[in-house]
Amino acid sequence: MTAFRALEQLVAEDRGNRGIGGMVQPGHLRAAADALLARDACVAIVSGFYIPKAGAGETDGPPGAKALGDALTALGAKVVYLTDRHNAPLFQALRAAPLYTSWAALRAACRPTHLLAVERAGRALDGCYYNLRAEDISAHTDPLDEPFLAAAAAGMVTIGIGDGGNEIGMGRVREHVARQVPQGERIGSTVETAHLIVSGVSNWGAYGLCGALSALTGRNLLPGAEAATDAVRRIVAAGAVDGLTHRNDPTVDALPLAESLALLARIGQVLGGARAAGQ
């Protein structure tokens, strides 16, 4: 088994029993990493999922987005972040910059070559945005998926990371979402991306992509345990809530931080084994 296949399997562990098994796209993790290594890349990272009932963004998404931003910056890419006003305080807490809350403003400042979404709502068949409870959250969700709809015509590479079926990128597997995810026909995103990383937790998909970049470049681009812990704690201090429990706790999708740290350690082991085997 290659390191990339092992990474795909690791990040796709379905701890929440969401039914994502049939949605994993073999080879997309490596393809996404390959695409991000393009010369003179300018990557716009889009993230932030707002929980209206809690009045805050969730802990899944921004930490993974920042980890990827740091990895790509280390490789020499230009990185910019895009979110909405509800989630902006979380990105500010992570010191993610430059940060934009408008696609028009971002485009005026730079011309992205890549669009990368981490746990960001994508519109459903009826044009609305839904959470996993099938509640319409359109009134609280800026249409930051619009750039992805026009990306191919604009020559931009698109990558989506999601875990529930209602995120940007999951339009690629919408039929599977409709069959396998509770109320999937209603909530399933129609927004496709060229590369799709389906994961048990979206932060994990981002960490897996950091791992794939590490494998391709021979550099350790994973966030350390301290950095990963600090990222979640920072956004919780800024008001973030767990997306499933809606509590202002340092958990991600109802899983303790120890689960994410163990996942990062296992990614490190895969990379170490690959290096030892000369892969």
Tell me the CATH number at 219. 3.90.1640.20
Which residue range is the domain that position 211 belongs to?
3-276
**Beta-bridge partner residues of 159:** 116, 195
pTM of the model: 0.97
Span 237-265, average pLDDT: 97
Give the pLDDT score at 16: 73
Give the pLDDT score at 274: 67
Tell me the pLDDT tens digit for each residue of 39-94.
Answer: 999 999 999 999 999 999 999 999 999 999 999 999 999 999 999 999 999 999 99
**Beta-bridge partner residues of 167:** 121
Give the pLDDT score at 273: 72
Q: Rounded to an integer, what distance in angstroms lies between the CA atom of residue 175 and that of residue 165?
A: 10
Give the pLDDT score at 15: 81
Give the pLDDT score at 179: 92
Q: Rounded to an integer, what distance in angstroms lies between the CA atom of residue 18 and that of residue 21?
A: 8
**Beta-bridge partner residues of 100:** 82
The domain total for the chain is: 1
- Please tell me the number of Cα atoms within 13 Å of 27 on its side-chain side: 1
| Structure tokens that stand for 223 in this block | 């966030």
Query: Secondary structure of the chain: what % helix, strand, coil (to 5)?
Result: 45, 15, 40
Tell me the pLDDT tens digit for each residue of 182-230.
Answer: 999 999 999 999 999 999 999 999 999 999 999 999 999 999 999 999 9
Give the pLDDT score at 21: 76
Span 150-171, average pLDDT: 96
Q: Rounded to an integer, what distance in angstroms lies between the CA atom of residue 230 and that of residue 224?
A: 10
Residue 18: which pLDDT band, with cuts at 50, 70 and 90?
A: confident
